[in-house]
Each structure stands twice: as structure tokens, then as C-alpha cells.
Structure 1
């Protein structure tokens, strides 16, 4: 019986890409697998036919020969009798199916291996996070902080190799440095991490007694950290190479410092702008005057209060706010007046206020406007 066209077997067009061929093979292999078609006597033959087609079309050189000469490319020596000239044939399709199985489950089983094995023999250390709280004054000026970072450092006894005396690890004899082993299970080739080296591809003959072969030891470190002026809550500072030490001499991770600026007793912050709520007496608000307010740099500023000022009135002091982080310019400080009603009045004070109330003219514009609106509202309700 003549062989069917390999493109027809997989159900793809002749110009199909490698991804389209692989996708079609996955679908066919799953559909025709003998374990799923135990009652179909022809399932195994069709499954082998699909694997035979895929073994040729997945290879660029074999595919080019097949496109030019068809099945004759692999008969009578035209395609060569070596590993790249022949194809899987009847019953020898484990390799083709293994490629797709590895592609589908490679990440779970440890990934495809390169020249040095599926995993890096020396793994990178983890990144660390440190939460640092500072005051608003420190955020304004910038500050240097000494912090204690718990974590691991490269073992000095073995120079991070994990082997006694700093000797280099040797290739794992079980997996020959690949970090994984294969086991045939029917039509499947299953890969798993090498039980001897744990998937690293190397083993340490004489583990370092200080670090038990890991190449790193638990050790707290003190670091001096420069906090730039202008930072705010949520600012992240990265210190490259100050994280956890790598395994068996691998590169060190990074340290990320997350800034939190504590609330201030006087100032509230919004970006580069500072807000300061300043209480003033009723007399100062009515007559006008001056008030002395603090600034974040530790200085003082005198602010004029216009006569007739009401609570909530704002005045802006240019350049008295927070500096820009890694930039130029300084924000402003906004003063908000809070007019205070006097309490614990003496008899004389009460007498003066009562007299003021009797002779009060139309000098409470907001009050007059409000009650005019109220009267208009009531009149409208009556109408």
C-alpha cells in the first residue's frame, strides 16, 4: 500500500509553518493515541503514521528533501542512511513524541537543557525587601541610614562553591550534567529532575562544613543607605547585589528598600506641596495682623493676615515645600487659617461682646447672605 502524503496525514497545507505542523501533530497524537482507542485495531498504525510524518516535517532538512522528492527522498540512499537522512519508520516514534511531550511539559519538569544542562549550575540569590520608615524632615533633607539586613552571604570558607577548600563541583555521574533523567513508559518518555544532583547537573564530593555544601551562610549585614531628598511613601530604592547570596557561587540578588514617611505633627504633604493649618484669634482675623509659622527646614516665616479673614482662607508661601526627587525645584507651603471662637470668657469680655452684638452693623456678609436665602426658601414654601 502506497504511503500517504505526510502533509495529508497531519492535515496541514504544504506551506504550513513549523508551529502549525507541531500544533497539528499534537492534536492528531492526542486523538489517535492507542491508550484512548483500545477498541480500534487500526489506531496504533495510524498513530505511528502520524509520528512518522511529524518526524520528517519537524526537521528543516528532512522537510526540504521531502518537499522536493517526496517519499523517495528517504529510499534507495537519496536521503542518506545516517541519523539525519532516515525517519522514525514503523514503530520507532518515541523520539518524535518525546519532543512534543518535552515542549508541553518541559517547564514543569525542569525545562529544555542547553549545553550546560537544563538549569544553571549556580542559581541566583533571591531579591530582598526592606521597609524603612523616616521622618518628614529626613525626607526633606535626605539622610543616610544604617540598616541591618537579615539574609545570607557567600560562604568565605569555600568561596561560595559549596565544596571543602573551594574546590569546583564535578559533573553529576547520574545525569552527565543534564540535571534530568528520562524514563520510557509505553509511548511516553517522562523526564524528571535528577535524584542525585537535584536538577543542578553538578555534585559536590566533599561538602563544605561551614555551609553544608550550599555555598552560603545565614548572616545579618549592616548597610549604609543614602536616602535622597524628596522621597515619599512608596518610593522604592534598588541596591544591586545586596540581596541574598546565590547558591553555589551564583550571582547575588538585589535589595529593594521601600520608603514610608511618617505623619507629621504640623505639616501634611501632597507631593511637593506642604499644608499647615494655623489657628488665629477672632480679633486677628477681623482686624488683620501677622502670624509666625514654622517651615519644614526648621525656620520661621511671618504671614500677614488680611482683615476680615474667614476660616479656611489659604495663603501660599513659594518655595517652602518639598524638593523634587532627583530633579530641580521646590514645592510651596499652603497656610490655611482656622479662626478660633474664644472660650472661658471673663465678665468684661462677655460685656464687650454683648455690646458689639448690639451695635453690629452689616459686617457679617456670609451670615446675612445665608439668612436671606433661608427667608426666601421659607417664603417659597408658604407660597
Structure 2
């Protein structure tokens, strides 16, 4: 866009608001027009797309207090036929823009007026890499030792601390290990992938597991030792008649994070023998005869007829 065009455009008229409109009124008007003119709605209507761009440009200026004040001042001076250079107090009248700014590029000066001019030194670009950790490491934390080449430099060793309780997909930041820049290097982000554990899983801050038990343990009750993620065992008590799928809770044996500790949730899975022979088969037949009077599906059938 030519520099002068910035001030020849009446952004208030484009948005349909008065010069005294409040920020809320400007925002409300913009949202209304943006919904009406959005390309997803106008479906390739070139004219409406141009209107959408103009409305967006107007809102970008008028919604920013600093830009709006500078726009108002500069537009007022242009309408009166004069302009004050942004970097000094000298006034210029009408005429050639090149004369106004001593042969400089007026577009650069206008861009600078709207905050788009030269910026100070920037930090280097942030970089990202990935790393896999075990489920146990995600629970208790670990230290990663990575060897990376950044910006084509020779590979360097990078140490990163993984805090306890991180989730799969979490990112950790290593300050100052990104790409180099005038104002110093950026940061390095490490995307973590937690490898599944063959026994333990996670539900929030709780650790979950499925415990296989025998039919007789579930029927008669039993005290069973189960492993924990910490490496020791705890004993869980099955009450007589424990049903398949029941969840037993071991307090405080989950994940410690942010000052709280979850629990170990143990789901009972009754194992039914695939083959029975000899005394085991005889015992089961005797059990079936002894409990033949119990109709375990009576309530189930009754509910079906409701």
C-alpha cells in the first residue's frame, strides 16, 4: 500500500462508527461485519472479500489505542494540508512526500508510525525436539541427556530435567538452547512421549492396574500381594463374593504432583479356567449342585420385562 493511502482511507467510515466510538462499540461493529463478510460465508465473492480485508485493516488500526491516536493526528494534519514528521517538530505543507522527509522513504516512516518499523535485536528462534521416556520415569521424573546439533553447529550435550508426574505429550523447556539470535539464543522445547507400561496405566493422578484373581479367591475372599510402580508390594483384601470388575483403592500409592498424591486403583478380573479335569471338575460339579437353588438371573429377567 502506498504510504499516503493509509491516511486517505477513512477507517471510521469503513467500519461504520463515529470518531467518538468507544472500544467496545468498535469491537462490536467489527464482529458484526466480520461475520457478514467472512470468506467462509461469502463463498468466493471477490468484492465481499475485499470489503472483509478493508474492515479487518480498519479494525487493526482503530482497536489499538496508540495506532488510533497516531492515525487521528496524521489524518487531521493531512486534511489541513500539513504534516509533522514523527521524528521532529518541523512542519511541512502539502506537496511532494519526498520533500517532506528529506528524500527518505515515506512508506517506511508511515509503517514506523503504526508500529511496523524497525525493531530491536531479536532472540533466536525457539526449536523443538522429541524424546521417549518410560512410564516409571514419567511418574517419578528423570534427567534427559540429549546430543543435538543446533544451527549446523557441532553436536552438543544438553541436559534437561523432566519433572515428576508429566503426561504423554507434555513439553519441557530448556532455556537458551534454541537457535542463536542478535539478542541471544531462543529456547529448546522437548516433546515427551511416554511409553506404555505392561501393567500400569494412568487416570489423572491415579495409577490403575488390572489384577487377575482366581474364581475361588473371588468367591471365598483372599489377601493378595500386588506390585506398585515404586517397586514394592502392597496387600489388597478381597472380600468373599468379590465380583468381576470391582475396583479396590490403595490410598497414596499414585502420582505425586503439585502437592497432592493420587491412589492406586486395582480392578479385579476373575479368571475362569479354560479346562478342568479330575478333582477340579468334580469339585465344580459339586459346587453347581450345591448352589442350584440360586437363580443369579432372576433380577435380570425381571428388569427385561419392565
SS in 2 for 1:301: strand
SS in 1 for 2:71: helix
Alignment partners' CA distance in 1, 2:276 and 2:123: 72
* Contact 1:269-1:275 within 8 A present in 2 as well: yes
Structure 2 counterpart of 1:358: 289
Give the superposition deviation at 1:53: 2.8
Alignment partners' CA distance in 2, 1:364 and 1:104: 88
The Cα offsets for residues 98-139 of structure 1, whole Å up to 9 and x where unpaired, read as 8874477669xx942xxxxx355x653211112121111112
Unaligned runs of 5+ in 2: 1-9, 21-67
TM-score, length-scaled by structure 1 = 0.54
Q: 1:19 to 1:315 in 2, by over 3 A?
A: same
Alignment partners' CA distance in 2, 1:144 and 1:332: 25
Give the superposition deviation at 1:280: 0.8
Unaligned runs of 5+ in 1: 1-9, 26-49, 61-81, 113-117, 153-216, 378-383
Alignment partners' CA distance in 2, 1:292 and 1:126: 52
Structure 1 counterpart of 2:96: 92
2:222 counterpart of 1:328: no
Q: If you compute each CA radius of gyration, which structure gives the higher value, 1 or 2? A: 1
SS in 2 for 1:219: coil
Aligned length: 241
Give the superposition deviation at 1:299: 0.5
Q: 1:260 to 1:86 in 2, by over 3 A?
A: closer
SS in 2 for 1:311: coil
Structure 1 counterpart of 2:49: none
Alignment partners' CA distance in 2, 1:250 and 1:356: 80
Counterpart of 2:163 (choices 208, 228, 244) is: 228
* Contact 2:85-2:91 within 8 A present in 1 as well: no
Alignment partners' CA distance in 1, 2:235 and 2:19: 85
SS in 2 for 1:309: coil
TM-score, length-scaled by structure 2 = 0.66
Q: 1:298 to 1:363 in 2, by over 3 A?
A: farther
Alignment partners' CA distance in 1, 2:232 and 2:147: 33
Structure 2 counterpart of 1:262: 195
SS in 2 for 1:126: coil
Structure 2 counterpart of 1:128: 127
Alignment partners' CA distance in 2, 1:83 and 1:126: 39
Structure 2 counterpart of 1:45: none
Structure 2 counterpart of 1:219: 154
Give the superposition deviation at 1:363: 4.6
SS in 2 for 1:218: coil
Structure 2 counterpart of 1:20: 72
Alignment partners' CA distance in 2, 1:83 and 1:355: 108
- RMSD over equivalenced CA pairs, Å: 3.6
Give the superposition deviation at 1:354: 2.4
Structure 2 counterpart of 1:369: 299
Alignment partners' CA distance in 2, 1:54 and 1:101: 18
The Cα offsets for residues 295-328 of structure 1, whole Å up to 9 and x where unpaired, read as 000010111111111111111000110110xx32
Q: 1:348 to 1:371 in 2, by over 3 A?
A: farther
2:57 counterpart of 1:53: no
The correspondence of residues 234-249 of structure 1 with structure 2, limited to 5 A, is 234-246=169-181
Alignment partners' CA distance in 1, 2:69 and 2:163: 54
Q: 1:223 to 1:303 in 2, by over 3 A?
A: same
* Contact 2:92-2:100 within 8 A present in 1 as well: no
Give the superposition deviation at 1:329: 2.6
Structure 2 counterpart of 1:181: none
Query: With CA pairs under 8 Å and 6+ residues apart, which has the higher RCO, 1 or 2?
Result: 1
Q: 1:54 to 1:290 in 2, by over 3 A?
A: farther
